[in-house]
Amino acid sequence: MVKTCCVYKCRNVFNADARSRGVSFFRFPKDKRKRRVWVKAVNRDKWEPGDHSWICSDHFLHGWHGEDPSDDNYGPTLFQYKVTRSEEDLIREKRRLDRESIKEKHDVEVLLKERETASHQFSLLAHGSYCRAEEASDDNDEDLCAITTDTTDDVNIHLTCDSGMQCEDDPLLLENRELRQEISRLREELGRHKWGVERIKDNDGMTKFYTGLPSFAIFLWLFNYLAPKCSRMTYWRGQGQTTASDRVRMSSSYLSPIDQFFAVLMRLKVGLFIQDIAERFQISSASFSMIFTTWISLLHAELKFLNPFPSKDIINRTMPQSFKVKYPSTRVIIDCTELFIQTSSSILNQSLTFSNYKHHTTVKYLVGISPSGVITFVSEGWPGKTSDRHLTENCGLISLLEPGDSVMADKGFTIADLLEKQQCFLNIPPFRGNANQFSTDDVYRTQEIAQLRIHVERSIGRVKNFHVLEGVVPLSIVPLINKIFQVCCWLTNLDLPLVDGKKPTSEDS
């Protein structure tokens, strides 16, 4: 059945023209309260929506609907058949509302003044009752209680008495004062315990510790780049509940976007448990799980765009002097790394993911860096049983190389024949072969390659500083492990340079 908008005089139909204009069609919600709001807004006499009743996005502000009843987009509000008021009518209406507001304000002030006067008179009477006279030695003398008051507020009443009188403090005033002090103390304590971006504001050391980014300025730059996207993203609510057609905005009762971003980076860098972060930011564990999954997907999409495989011209312009002297054609330095994952109950999955090198079930990645130390390639995750040659052959790296490029790797990467097909070369430490020992040239060549290839291990070490990758990754986040690992790799590219461009000294050579 063709989707058509049920609003009076709306001609929108789900077709190519509607898709080109970005028009979406929404079903009537199942929530009874929200459904009544929508039906009332449509305003059709004796009509109830069915399973095939739709409303197009032209009737919602910004083309989406929210879940917060206080939001303007909780229901449809834009209708063409309703008469639009002129600017002059709006100005006249504004003046009328201003006059009414001033009048209401004046009436409230008069009422408050009358109540203040009545309260003041009552306070005089009430406070006077707390003055008790003691027995006087002279029956002819009358005990007097002189009460001096401040006419502005009954809270500031001063009680004075003669030498023969005793005035007690008003217990209501004492209780009120104690409650105010308690409220102030609790607010200060709440502010100290609730986490937010203020914890790392203008503190590069705390920013580095909790987010992995080198400074708070870099943190703000990255968030400002993501802000336009995060304001329109759809939050993950589960495989069966998140739809691509309905765009739902996060309710205003949740964390602010910058605090969400901070909490996600804390989860990656410090490796805190979900329950711990939820307690720190005073939200539920389910809410943070939804936030984490959504932000990881956003970070993966945006950082992948910011970290493409660089061209040969960029590699040559940023190549350190140590590579230009010995290996000027180096395009990428590669190595594999593995992450421990929880053992699956499936025997087949256990056999595929068990690594003979790590003696545990793992997921394996190929990481490539440029000679300057920037991570330029991160493969998808492969089972731990996969060999380095098979992973390199099928991960898509070789197709990115150009004729004349060279790849630097460890001895385990026996891929020289694969690179020859692309007219590329492989630089690895030499094998001893049948000789009893390495020759002098082979020893020097091994040392030269080891001094330069060590940078890929240092780069992977930076990635492993994100403690969410530490230990055994539970199966619950294995579906996200590819995105998490790649995001951690790309975040390290925002850190200080790994390799400097200084010329090699005589000691280095």
Residue from 451, 412, 405 nearest 428 by CA: 412
Residue from 374, 338, 349, 230 nearest 291 by CA: 230
Report the C-alpha gap between 271 and 77 in whole angstroms: 44
Residue 212's pLDDT band, with cuts at 50, 70 and 90, is very high
Q: Which of the two residues, 24 and 87, has the higher pLDDT score?
A: 24
Alpha helix (H) ranges present in 332-480?
347-353, 388-394, 416-420, 440-464
pLDDT tens column, 4-38: 898 888 888 888 888 888 888 888 988 888 888 88
Would you state the pLDDT for residue 146?
A: 42
Out of 43-47, 182-186, 259-263, 319-323, the most confident range is: 259-263
Residue type, 336: C
Question: Among 105-119, 221-235, 365-379, where is mean pLDDT lowest?
Answer: 105-119
- Given a contact cutoff of 8 angstroms between Cβ atoms, the answer to whether 361 and 342 are in contact is yes
- Given a contact cutoff of 8 angstroms between Cβ atoms, the answer to whether 484 and 477 are in contact is yes
Which tokens go with 318?
A: 């940023």
- Given a contact cutoff of 8 angstroms between Cβ atoms, the answer to whether 297 and 373 are in contact is no
pLDDT tens column, 420-465: 998 999 998 888 767 777 777 778 888 888 888 899 999 999 999 9
Which tokens go with 118?
A: 């009545």
Crossing angle of the two packed helices 257-269 and 204-211, in degrees rounded to 10: 70
Question: Among 303-312, 374-383, 445-454, where is mean pLDDT lowest?
Answer: 445-454
Strand 406-408 and strand 425-427: pairing?
A: parallel
**What is the percentage of the chain residues whose pLDDT exceeds 70?**
82
Q: Which residues pair with 112 in a beta bridge?
A: none
Residue 135's pLDDT band, with cuts at 50, 70 and 90, is very low
Report the C-alpha gap between 377 and 271 in whole angstroms: 24
Would you state the pLDDT for residue 251?
A: 44
pLDDT tens column, 142-193: 444 444 444 444 445 444 544 445 556 678 888 888 898 888 888 777 666 7
Element (H, E) at 111: helix 87-128
Residue from 291, 278, 302 nearest 236 by CA: 291
- Whether 113 has a pLDDT exceeding 50, the answer reads yes
Question: Among 95-104, 340-349, 369-378, 436-445, where is mean pLDDT lowest?
Answer: 436-445
